[in-house]
């Protein structure tokens, strides 16, 4: 009985059925066999030692190919070796799972005494030893009972749970490397030696068993591995460089904002940071105005009764700041609060308030769509461990808006929004946007028909815009599907910024109706949408993406006029006045310091432009223009420099109009 094996170049050969990939590659060439660590059999990444049972296509995965397959295999194998090393060092440790992730791998352990990074050298040394021993990976298919009995006797309770979780129609694969054995779906390389020496443990952290906070916390060790030491070093260097762009670091260096414990998670915007903030807000306001939005402002503090009606009191209260509506006691002794005051809450969202405005008067179908925007300052009592610089705060300002529309307007409004959002992101310098369509969760409100229609409307709208998107299965809100727009920070963490959420529920709860063409009352459909998400987070993303070197229109200080000699002070002062009256954010540096010193300081401070004035320039009416990030300078008439700067400082949306 023979089978036909087809090679990537299209050639085919016959082999006895049951021939292994190893035999096939060894039959081709010794040198190819030497570097082949796995294969793709009919497109599926597989153990090289797998027997080939039918006709198919084979591709060999060589260790030096630099392919994603090789990285995946190396990292997966390294995770196994990590687990073996840990159990060899601390035999009572239970192993759980150890998957490959972006840029590396991790392995979750259960150990009474959690790991610390101080354990890394010992673990890494043991891993090197294991790799050196060079055990082969071998695969065995076990029965469910056999596997459970095996793990039970070893006290591996988590593995027993995993065995139970594997669907009955799937076979259980056990991979052995020397004496160590693990339940694993594979595949693996030939031997642990194929891993090489380019691996490193990077961090430890707690993680819940199966990602559920009701479960025990496991100790997770993260690591990474590459095919070569050079690639590992390059990766570590890249991460170190990226960390320099951390907005928390740059925010301090550039004196943009700060946090302090008395207002945990709330930003103190410094003058320079607030320039940035205001520029962003003004820009968005212009974009919304010209896109048919109206702007409103709603109360910060509203009665709990109001939040009961909206449903937030029941579902969202643990994230709300609640404030009693009473005069606090002022006696030295005695309680500040009686506990009897009616409760109010700081708004965590703007939507219910916008419905109150919508509900004033009677709306006609002619009024729809009504696009109501607010720079809404919201407070959310976020878990302390979730706070993260500007990215995750407790007080934030959303560039929020609610579009009240008819069902048949959902798709066109969504398209309109997505185009606006992409135009904004392009102006902000972001092109790498990940869109997710979050679909019906397990627990949902409303009918399946309505969900299907809503998901279809959002999907169709996205397809009409031509942007790619992923489906985030089951991650929709309770009441409707949503679109999420994600960007990545300096070290590759993904943050949701923009959003569009469909909502049928709140209009019904709060009675947001309009009079339809036929005179009947109908509930409006509500689209919650934000482009930046929150100004705080988006500014954080901007700082990281530009490494603090903001484009001219956003730069807190656009130009510093610096003198070389004190004879030029008067001229420099005059230039700063002229720049400022032209709307340029200019500062004077007439300190008694050398020009080298001033150039360095403002370069470090990421000021995009310097106008240097010495004796010569002062006499000639010129400035020596130095641009951040470039060497050298050019001397030009001041008025020319001013005109050029004004053009460059024009926000991108206004620039486009002028052109």
Catalytic residues, which ones?
A: 351, 380, 398, 400, 402, 482, 528
Among positions 94, 423, 513, 633, the unique one binding RNA when judged by CB under 7 A: 633
d(CA 158, CA 96): 6
Among positions 600, 621, 640, 656, the unique one binding RNA when judged by CB under 7 A: 600
Instruction: Give the torsion sign (CA, 399, 404, 407, 408).
Output: negative
Among positions 17, 133, 616, 657, the unique one binding RNA when judged by CB under 7 A: 616
d(CA 458, CA 461): 5
CA-nearest of 101, 132, 384 to 220 is 101
CB of 59 to RNA, least distance (A): 32
Decide if residue 121 touches RNA (CB under 7 A). no
Decide if residue 642 touches RNA (CB under 7 A). no
CB of 65 to RNA, least distance (A): 29
Binding mask 77-116 for RNA (x = CB under 7 A): -------------------------------------xxx
Find the DSSP H helices in 192-264.
229-243, 247-253
Q: In what order do the strands lie in the sheet with 180-183?
A: 137-142, 172-177, 180-183
DSSP for 519-569 reads: S-EEEPEEEEEEEEEEHHHHHHHHHHHHTT---TTT-SS-EEEEESSGGGH
Among positions 164, 567, 570, 640, the unique one binding RNA when judged by CB under 7 A: 567
498 or 507: whose CB is closer to RNA? 498
Among positions 37, 52, 410, 612, the unique one binding RNA when judged by CB under 7 A: 612
Decide if residue 327 touches RNA (CB under 7 A). no
Decide if residue 443 touches RNA (CB under 7 A). no
CB proximity list for 545: less than 8 A, separation 6 or greater:
245, 429, 430, 487, 490
Residues 26-55 that bind RNA (CB under 7 A): none
Decide if residue 315 touches RNA (CB under 7 A). no
326, 336 Cβ separation under 8 angstroms: no
CB of 112 to RNA, least distance (A): 10
**How many Cβ atoms sit within 10 Å of the Cβ of residue 469?**
19
Binding mask 414-433 for RNA (x = CB under 7 A): --------------------
Where are the strands (E) in 226-341, listed by range? 257-258, 268-269, 293-295, 301-303, 322-325
Decide if residue 497 touches RNA (CB under 7 A). yes
d(CA 648, CA 637): 17
Decide if residue 389 touches RNA (CB under 7 A). yes
Query: Which region among 88-96, 170-178, 516-524, 614-622 touches RNA (by CB under 7 A)?
Result: 614-622
166 or 491: whose CB is closer to RNA? 491
Residues 269-308 that bind RNA (CB under 7 A): none
38 or 541: whose CB is closer to RNA? 541
CB of 312 to RNA, least distance (A): 12
Among positions 30, 340, 366, 384, the unique one binding RNA when judged by CB under 7 A: 384
Decide if residue 314 touches RNA (CB under 7 A). no
Taking CA atoms, 153 is separated from 149, 157, 159, 160, 163, in Å, by: 6, 9, 11, 10, 14
DSSP for 430-481 reads: ----EEEEE---SS--S-HHHHHHHHHHHHHHHHHHT---EEETT-S-SSS-
d(CA 294, CA 371): 6
Residue 519 token pair: 């005179």
Decide if residue 219 touches RNA (CB under 7 A). yes
Among positions 69, 77, 156, 536, the unique one binding RNA when judged by CB under 7 A: 536
Among positions 237, 297, 463, 594, the unique one binding RNA when judged by CB under 7 A: 594
**How many Cβ atoms sit within 10 Å of the Cβ of residue 83?**
24
CB of 540 to RNA, least distance (A): 9
CB of 223 to RNA, least distance (A): 12
DSSP three-state, residue 653: helix
CA-nearest of 379, 387, 393, 377 to 344 is 379
125 or 258: whose CB is closer to RNA? 258
CB of 261 to RNA, least distance (A): 4
Among positions 179, 361, 592, 659, the unique one binding RNA when judged by CB under 7 A: 592
DSSP three-state, residue 186: coil
361 or 629: whose CB is closer to RNA? 629
Among positions 198, 221, 227, 396, the unique one binding RNA when judged by CB under 7 A: 396
User: Which burial class, exposed, middle or buried, applies to 144 when counting CB atoms under 10 A from its CB (0-12, 13-18, 19+)?
Assistant: middle
Decide if residue 470 touches RNA (CB under 7 A). no
385 or 519: whose CB is closer to RNA? 385
Binding mask 225-264 for RNA (x = CB under 7 A): ---------------------x-x---x------x-x--x
378, 398 Cβ separation under 8 angstroms: yes
């Amino acid at each position: 009985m023979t089978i036909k094996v087809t090679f990537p170049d299209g050639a085919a050969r016959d082999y006895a059925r049951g021939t292994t990939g190893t035999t096939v590659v060894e039959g081709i060439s010794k040198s190819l066999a030497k570097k082949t660590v796995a294969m793709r059999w009919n497109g599926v990444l597989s153990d090289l030692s797998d027997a080939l049972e039918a006709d198919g296509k084979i591709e060999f995965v060589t260790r030096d190919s630099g392919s994603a397959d090789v990285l995946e295999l190396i990292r997966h194998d390294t995770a196994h070796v990590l687990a073996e090393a840990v159990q060899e060092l601390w035999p009572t440790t239970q192993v759980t799972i150890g998957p490959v992730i972006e840029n590396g791998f991790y392995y979750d352990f259960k150990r009474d005494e959690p790991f610390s990074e101080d354990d890394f050298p010992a673990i890494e040394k043991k891993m090197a030893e294991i790799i050196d021993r060079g055990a082969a990976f071998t695969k065995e298919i076990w029965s469910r009972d056999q596997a459970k009995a095996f793990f039970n006797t070893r006290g591996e309770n988590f593995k027993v749970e995993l065995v139970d979780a594997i669907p009955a129609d799937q076979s259980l694969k056990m991979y052995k490397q020397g004496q160590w054995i693990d339940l694993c779906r594979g595949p693996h390389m030939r031997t642990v030696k194929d891993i090489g020496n380019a691996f490193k443990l990077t961090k430890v952290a707690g993680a819940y068993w199966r990602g559920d906070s009701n479960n025990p916390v496991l100790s997770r060790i993260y690591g990474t591995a590459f095919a070569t030491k050079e690639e590992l070093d390059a990766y570590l260097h890249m991460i170190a460089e990226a960390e320099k762009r951390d907005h928390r670091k740059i925010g301090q260096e550039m004196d943009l904002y700060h946090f302090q414990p008395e207002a945990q998670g709330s930003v103190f915007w410094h003058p320079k940071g607030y320039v940035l903030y205001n520029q962003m807000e003004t820009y968005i306001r212009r974009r919304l105005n010209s896109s048919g939005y109206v702007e409103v402002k709603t109360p910060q503090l509203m009665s709990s009764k109001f939040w009961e009606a909206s449903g937030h009191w029941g579902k969202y209260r643990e994230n709300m700041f609640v404030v009693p509506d009473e005069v606090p006691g002022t006696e030295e002794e005695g309680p500040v609060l009686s506990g009897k005051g009616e409760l109010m809450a700081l708004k965590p969202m703007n939507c219910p308030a916008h419905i109150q405005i919508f509900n004033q008067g009677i709306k006609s179908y002619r009024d729809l769509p009504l696009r109501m925007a607010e720079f809404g300052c919201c407070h959310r009592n976020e878990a302390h461990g979730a706070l993260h610089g500007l990215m995750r705060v407790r007080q934030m300002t959303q560039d929020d808006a609610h579009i009240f529309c008819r069902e048949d307007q959902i798709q066109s409004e969504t398209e309109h929004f997505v185009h606006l959002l992409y135009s904004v992101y392009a102006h902000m310098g972001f092109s790498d946007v990940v869109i997710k369509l979050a679909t019906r969760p397990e627990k949902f409100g409303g009918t399946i028909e309505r969900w299907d229609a809503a998901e279809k409307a959002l999907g169709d709208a996205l397809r009409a815009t031509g942007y790619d998107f992923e489906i985030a299965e089951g991650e929709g809100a309770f009441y409707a599907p949503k679109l999420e727009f994600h960007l990545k920070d300096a070290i590759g963490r993904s943050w949701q910024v923009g959003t569009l959420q469909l909502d049928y529920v709140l209009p019904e709860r709060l009675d947001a109706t309009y009079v339809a063409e036929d005179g009947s009352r109908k509930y409006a459909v509500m689209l919650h949408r934000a482009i930046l998400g929150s100004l705080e987070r988006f500014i954080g993303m901007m700082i990281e993406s530009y490494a603090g070197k903001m484009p001219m229109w956003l730069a807190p200080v656009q130009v510093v006029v610096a003198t070389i000699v004190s004879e030029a002070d008067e001229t420099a002062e005059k230039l700063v006045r002229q720049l400022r009256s032209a709307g340029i954010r200019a500062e004077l540096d007439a300190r008694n310091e050398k020009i080298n010193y001033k150039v360095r300081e403002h370069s470090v401070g990421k000021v995009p432009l310097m106008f240097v004035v010495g004796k010569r320039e002062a006499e000639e009416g010129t400035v020596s223009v130095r641009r951040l990030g470039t060497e050298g300078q050019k001397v030009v008439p001041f008025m020319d420099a001013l005109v050029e700067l004004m053009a460059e400082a024009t926000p991108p949306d206004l620039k486009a109009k002028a052109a």
